[in-house]
Structure 1
Amino acid sequence: MEWVALLMFGAIIVLLLAGFPVAFTLGGTALLFATAGVIGGGFEVAFLTGLPSRLFGIMGNETLIAVPLFVFMGITLERARIAEDLLETLSALFGRLRGGLGIAVTLVGMLLAASTGIVGATVVTMGLLSLPTMLKRGYSPEIAAGTICASGTLGQIIPPSIILVMLGDVMSSAYQQAQLQQGIFSPETVSVGDLFAGALIPGLLLVVLYMLYLFVLAIIKPASMPARPDDDSDVTLARLLSALMPPLILIFAVLGSILGGFATPTEAAGVGAAGGLLIALQRRSLNLVRLQEIMRGTLRVSSMVFLILIGASVFSLVFRGYGGDDAVRELLDHLPGGVFAAVLVVMLLMFLLGFVLDFIEITFVVVPIVAPVLLSMGLDPVWLGIMIAINLQTSFLTPPFGFALFYLRGVAPPEVSTAAIYRGVMPFVAIQLLALLILAAFPDLVTWLPDRIYGN
């Protein structure tokens, strides 16, 4: 009955493309196929008996508590207008250089990624604040749009990324499942801290590659990236420290506590949420009305994530009940080219699905199916998790369906055409693919820091 599992997967993709809600599509379709299978005699109802314990396990998962806390931190910092101060200060600092404004936008995107981790909010905020300024300074619309989209999606890979929190839980389950399939009984697992540590060097690599591209482009096409006029205000040390210190202290408190072993990711997320409130209070941008907005926003995002996770769990249970995981394992095992071909096919599939599905659906639906098979081939779980995260980040940028492009299109002025946005992001998509190739050729760039910190 493996073909039924593949048919169910195809039906879900079609329904999602038709615009049906993700969580109800996943759970409802799976239950319909399970009911039809029970009536037709091709599905064992015993598979569904484990559903209640699985759902209670999701709601009591301590790792996933970090998701609403990090969302709360990100929304609070967004309301505190951290991005505006950072852009104004770094633009004035680097603006005298040709291409300096683009480099400033990239650095702000990196700092926002490390302090908020919310891609959509970062792209929209950067688009509202920096795109008009870049166009006013004479920047090419293509370069301005591409820089904003690329730097805004750094929140996918630079910790504390929400996708890494979710991937940590999924990869841990996949790793244990792969070990059981090989007859290995070990308490070892994959933690969110492992993925955070593994993502630091690749995230910084992307930032460096972005800035290197902008630097070279400023030399080759100086007219497309002019310098700032000389009459703009200078940046004093006090102004620079005032803009940089609050987010840097928060980043150090959150990531430093995790990587230093002083706190779990969930505990560090609590520190980040409290730190976000303190920064908002210090900047006098927090009141009762704004706090209610922050809490409502956190509730909406968190409810969406957990509802999708519940639907994905139902889908995963029925998919395995029909033998879908065996079908996927057999398919990947018999590909010509071995492990390399299996990884390539999975990465290409996720890249294409990233056009039409959000990273949450891919993380909870696709990764649990393919990750155990790939890990049983001997791949490092941290390396695989980071490759998946960067791959999904690349699909966020790729025309015509990249989500970051839609975010920017919604706030860009009419004179910036959709075609200009598409042309602008293509070099950054190439940079993303180059980064994937570098990490594939040198996996130690991912695994070295987790090994040094945790000794895994």
Structure 2
Amino acid sequence: MTIADTFAFALFAVTILSLMAGYPVAFTLAGSALFVGGVGWLFGVFELSLLGAIPSRIFGIAMWNETLLAVPLFIFMGIMLEKSRVAEELLAAMGALFGNLRGGLGISVIVVGALLAASTGIVGAAVVTMGLMSLPTMLNKGYDPRLAAGSICAAGTLGQIIPPSIVLIILAEQVSNAYVAAQSLQGNWSPEPVSVGDLFAGALFPGLILVGLYIFYQFAIAWLKPESSPAVPMETTTGSGIKLFPLLLRSLLPPVILIIAVLGSILLGIATPTEAASVGAIGAILLASLRRGGRETWLLYAAGISVFALLILANFVDLKGIATEGIGLAAVFAFLLLTLIIAGLMLALLRLYQSRILSEVCQSTMEMSAMVFVILIGATIFSLVFRGLGGDDLVYRLLSDLPGGRFGALLAVMIVIFLLGFFLDFVEITFVVVPVVAPVLLLMDISPIWLGIMIAMNLQTSFLTPPFGFALFYLRGVAPPEVTTGVIYRGAIPFVLLQLAALGLLAAFPALATWLPHYLNGGG
């Protein structure tokens, strides 16, 4: 091992130890890199001139990257839906629908978790919301505390893998950069980049399989241990069966339409992820305003229908080319739809501003977006110094020398990411670890889409794994005193095993992640 390799190891070790000590992530990444790079310069193993590339790299990544603009828009969408009590109505509707079944409340929690994942994608918010509303009800109805706690934690983490997911957006950017770098090393200077839509499509089947495993587990426990998950009569949740259909219609239809509009427009190629995220943000504003009630509600419904109609129109007509082709029937129809959308949006924003929800959502969005982009800048500096110290060559040698070839290298990376997930957030792992290991793995002829989904599901598993899973801490913060930390840990373990089983299925059958993107891209 050369002295440069020693410095590369030291940089990684100093960064991980500093993060575990609780120092701010972005400043730790940049500070550790600059410190170790400076010491490396004194020893003659690092060129300070490399740091001159930092401004251009930051400008290119954070300023000119259209894909990353989707991050604050999806964050805004998720927080707005969290404030609009969507989860509360979904839980009431699903509880009424499945309550007569043994294990029905547990199934309801899983279904609501999947719907919230597809509409909000914010793990902490989902776990806390369902913990506050579902956990007391499940305990009062005689559910095993371990099963109740594990169900809520597992359902809350689905936002990591079910699109549209913030994790997948960030991962797509890093995996795409790594794939382009790997292809250039192999002599391919114009590779097809990996898009956010590819990862969204690739995550769809694995996410649904995971939801299916969770629901199957609820059925199995209800059959094997009926006392752990008793049936809850419908009347105790809705008051009467007559109210069930209107409740389902009101609670399910708007979020499902929003999910179809956002995710469908991306998968079908109607809109880019950034454009679809803006549609999601508009839909969340309209939905949150509808939940507030008031006059002129018809205008909000008309605006929501107009958004959906405009997406359908965009699938058949090139709306961007209308300005050059002249005014036609499609242009007039699009103008009328836009007028309704703008009018409904103005009314919705006024209502949300008066109720002070808008300011809270904007502030939370700004804080979370700033955190992501500051970490991105710190990770850019870290990656530049790490490569300047020859760290990428060191990682390639280490992974290439592992027994088992490609499988051994992938297994080692998955284990490292799983263990780091105990201590670090997914943003930190994505920005620090993925740029280092992904190019090496992709040089081994591994599908970038499959690799991205494997990493995403691995990160989701680490969110749930005792003793440091973030989802467990989120639930512990809102759980009643009788639900101890030990109860939450024991309840989460079966769901961790289910996630590992799903990860194993994905590893054994890569087509689960690669078939749909290939089909949507015209592969047949």
- TM-score (ref. length: structure 2): 0.86
Q: Report which stretch shifted further, 277-286 or 72-81.
A: 277-286
Q: SS of 1:262's equivalent?
A: coil
Residue number in structure 2 paired with 1:262:
270
Larger Rg: 2
Deviation for aligned residue 1:187: 3.5
Amino acid in structure 1 at the alignment position of 2:288: A
Residue type of the alignment partner of 1:10: A
1:346-367 CA-to-partner distances (Å, cap 9, x unmatched) read 0000000000000000000000
Gaps of 5+ in 2: 294-350
Mapping 1:383-402, distance limit 5 Å: 383-402=450-469
Counterpart mapping for 1:194-205 below 5 A: 194-205=198-209
Once residues 169 and 234 of structure 2 are traced to their aligned partners in structure 1, the CA distance between those partners, rounded to angstroms, is: 45
Alpha-carbon distance in 2 for matches of 1:206, 1:130: 21
Match of 1:273 in 2: 281
CA-CA distance at 1:47 after TM superposition: 1.5
Aligned alpha-carbon RMSD (Å): 1.0
State which of 144, 164, 168 in structure 2 corresponds to 1:164: 168
2:471 counterpart SS class: helix
Tell me the residue number matched to 1:148.
152
What is the letter of the counterpart of residue 419 of structure 1?
Answer: G
Q: What SS is found at the alignment partner of 1:158?
A: coil
**CA distance in 2: counterparts of 1:207 and 1:336, whole angstroms:** 34
Structure-1 residue corresponding to 2:347: none
Note if contact 2:109-2:152 (Cα within 8 Å) is conserved in structure 1.
Answer: yes
* Distance in 1 separating the partners of 2:178 and 2:89: 42
The answer to whether the aligner puts 1:345 opposite 2:412 as a matched pair is yes
Give the drift of 1:230. Answer: 5.7
Match of 2:98 in 1: 94
Is 2:470 the partner of 1:403? yes
Partner of 2:335: none
Mapped to 2, the partners of 1:24 and 1:433 lie a distance apart of 33
Q: Which moved more, 1:427-436 or 1:50-59?
A: 50-59
Which amino acid counterpart does residue 92 of structure 1 have in structure 2? A
Identity of aligned residues (%): 63
Q: 1:201 to 1:180 in 2, by over 3 A?
A: same
1:160 aligns to what SS in structure 2?
coil
Partners of 2:194 and 2:235 in 1: CA distance = 53
What do residues 95-121 of structure 1 show as CA deviations (whole Å, max 9, x unaligned)? 010000000000000000000000011
- What's 2:305 paired with? none
Shift of 1:212: 0.3
Q: Give the letter for the 1:295 counterpart.
A: C
Kept in 1, the 8 Å contact 2:96–2:244? The answer is no
Residue 130 of structure 2 corresponds to 126
Q: Does 1:454 align with 2:521?
A: yes
Map 1:319-338; keep pairs closer than 5 Å.
319-338=386-405
2:182 match: 178
Q: Structure 2 matches for 1:435-446, cutoff 5 A?
A: 435-446=502-513
Q: Secondary structure in 1 aligned to 2:278?
A: helix
SS in 2 for 1:437: helix
Q: How far did 1:39 drift?
A: 2.8
- Residue aligning to 1:108: 112
Contact 2:183 2:191 in 1 (8 A): no
CA contact (8 A) 2:10 2:36 kept: no
Q: 1:378 is paired with a residue of what secondary structure?
A: coil
Q: Distance in 2 between matches of 1:236 and 1:396?
A: 35
Aligned pair partner of 1:367 in 431, 434, 443: 434
Q: 1:31 aligns with which of 27, 31, 34?
A: 34
Paired residue secondary structure (1:236): helix
SS in 2 for 1:283: helix
* C-alpha contact 2:222 2:229 (8 A) present in aligned 1: yes
Amino acid at match of 1:120: G
Provide the aligned length of Structure 1 versus Structure 2. Answer: 456
CA distance in structure 1 between the partners assigned to 2:101 and 2:136 by the alignment: 19
Please report how far the alpha carbon of residue 455 of structure 1 lies from its aligned counterpart in structure 2 after TM superposition: 3.5
CA–CA distance in structure 2, aligned partners of residues 231 and 34 of structure 1:
66
Q: Is the 8 A contact 2:461 2:496 kept in 1?
A: yes
Partner AA of 1:246 in structure 2: P
| 2: CA distance, partners of 1:54 / 1:334 | 32
TM-score (norm 1): 0.99
The CA distance in 2 between the partners of 1:312 and 1:373, in whole Å, is 18
User: Which deviates further from its counterpart, 178-187 or 435-444?
Assistant: 178-187
**Alignment-derived partner of residue 78 in structure 1:** 82
